[in-house]
Every structure is written in structure tokens, then in C-alpha cells.
Structure 1
Amino acid sequence: MFSIVLLLILLLSANCLSSRNVGNRREAISKAVAFGAAGLLIQVQPSLAAEGAAPTTAELDRIRLGYKQITYLLDNFEQETTTCRENGGECKRDAEPIRRVLGLRSTTDPLFQIEKVFDKVKNMDVDIDLEEFFGAIEDYNSAMTISNSMAFISQFAEYNPGGGKDSVLKYLEESKKAVLLAQSSLKKIMANLDLKEM
């Protein structure tokens, strides 16, 4: 957009320079700038409208589905975080399921960038306890960050000096504790938004 405005200013200025009329040149530049500003406003308006929109039902369902996936992970933690090779091969603990349910592995995960949905709640026409709601969001974000860090560290704990399988389990358990906090925070968020579990 900026390049179009600049091109218009140059063309109109060049046209006015040939006539050596200073008043016309100023007028031409003013018109070009006004035209550019109008074009910019037209371009910006749709994004402003989207910014002020309330979350859609599909976006709110992402919260519910994310909560369901976290609950399933916690109920089946050892099974979900253990990967075994075929034909009776070695089993290892794997933190990827933790990161996946928290929306940290794929753009298709329900909780991927869920903070954008949380931010849209301020545009909803609902009566909620904002202090409790935003406190739960802060708790969720903190728990997600801690859980992600512990899950990531657990993947390399066995190979670190002084590490081993016990270190992997230690970091997985720390990650699980943070996932429990994330689950609790999501439950508060859902209660504030009157969202039922799936």
C-alpha cells in the first residue's frame, strides 16, 4: 500500500514539476496523501472488526476439547507417555503427548494459541467475574509454560551427565503437576464462560 501511495506522489509531483506550478504540486501531493490514507483505512477496517469480535462457538469448543484431552492424558498418564518398540522391544517414556495436549506441537491441536480465544472473551456479552477469569488465564499460561519446559527437559534428561531414566521420570512428574494446574485453570475458565465438559 505504501509503495502505491509513493508512486502516486511521484507521478503527480512529476506532472506538476513540468508545469512549475508550486500550488498545483502541493495540491497534488495533498490529494495523493489523502488517497493513500483512505486506502489504508479501508484496508485496516476488516482487521479491526475481527479484533473486536467475540469468540465463535467453534473457538469456545476448542477450550472444551482441550480440557477433555488434558483430562484423558492425566487419567492415562503412564500409558500415554510410554512408547514401546514392536515385538517386545524396549519401552521409553515420551513427553510429546504432554506438549500435544497443551497445543504446543501442531496448529491443529485444540489449545494451539488458545490465548487468542481467551482475549476475545472481553467482547462477549456475558456477565463473568473478570478478576477470576483473567487470574485463571494467568495460571493456565504459567502452568503451560512450566509443563512445556519440564516435558522438553525430560526428553534429554537420560543423556545429560548425572541423568538417567530416573531423571526422565522426575521431569515427567514435574510436567504432570503443571498439567494438573493447567486442567484446574481451564476448568475455572470454562465455569466462568458457562461451558460444559464434552
Structure 2
Amino acid sequence: MQNPFETIRVEVATMSHLLAIAFFFLPVIVGLTSCVTAYGDDPPFRIKTKRDDDKVEVTVENDKGVISVRSPFGLSQAIIERSGNKWPDIVTLRLHLKGLEKFKVTNGKDTLEAAVSSQYGKVRLWKDGKEDRALDSKHLYWTEIRMVGKDGEPVKTIPLKDGYFEMQLPKALFEHNPPSITLHWIDFYR
């Protein structure tokens, strides 16, 4: 005669394995569902980088976009093409680099360029290749470039250690709703 408790033990063990499998795959299924729900079949941006090891992520929440760039080599570019009808109202860029020898962003018509001094952290900002004509805070293309440490707090020394350069890209760059923007960067410490 078979022990009824053994049958129950086997059924409980089988049930616990099924639950473990379900809990393992549930986040994956929910993640895929929310991704499809949030973006449909087409993600809001297509990103093409010059180097395979560059990582560019774009997140958008409440019409605020954040572009995060990680570039191990420190010298590269990325093209960010919008799939939707328009760019977010606010676009913040985070360059996870140790230094910023030169930065350039273009919408195909206008180009904003910047550099951060490796000795003093002084920021220079100019437009359309005219480096001798620095932009001031009254200019439509002016933006503040902040140096942020790994703890999210402002820092003043370069090279940055696990930090990033952060800037809110000027609204004038997106005024005519360009189909894409191109970013170029050079890290002092590449």
C-alpha cells in the first residue's frame, strides 16, 4: 500500500518547482509587456554608435529625456534618431567620461561645441566652429555643463572617477524638430 503522505510530498515538491519557474520568468514576461506597451513595436529612438563598445541609453519620462553615454575608448560618436513625432521637451545629456577635451552636438543645421579644461574645470562653449566667439548665458544655445561624481554630487576635479559631465541640451537645438542629432566626444584620458 502506498503512503498517502508521499504522494502529497511529491505533489508539493512539483508545485514548488512550478512556482519557482513562474516567479523566475514573470519579471521577464512583465518587462517585455511593459516595453511593448510603453513603446509599441517601435522604440522611441534608434541609436547608432561608431564603436561597438560604446553604450548609449535614452530614457524618457514625463516628456523629460536623459541620454547617457558610456565610452570606454573615450573618442567616438553616436547618432540618435527619433522614431516618434517629436523630441522630449527637456533633453539632458550625461557623458560618463573622465575628462572632456571636446564635445560636439549637431542637429544637421546648427552645431554646439564645448570643452572643459583639465586643469581648472573651466568650461568653454561655442557654436558652428567659431571657437573664438564664446557663448554666454544669454545666448539661445548656451548650456551649463556640470561635473558630477559617482554619488550624484557636484565635483570640481578632473579626472572624474565614475562620474559624468551633465548638460541640458538647449531647446534651440530641437526647435525645428530634427529627425536626429549627432554627438561627438573626446575624453582627455582615453
TM-score under structure 1 normalisation?
Answer: 0.26
Which structure is higher in strand share?
A: 2
Which one has a larger percent helix, Structure 1 or Structure 2? 1
Larger gyration radius, structure 1 or structure 2: 1
TM-score (norm. length: structure 2)? 0.26
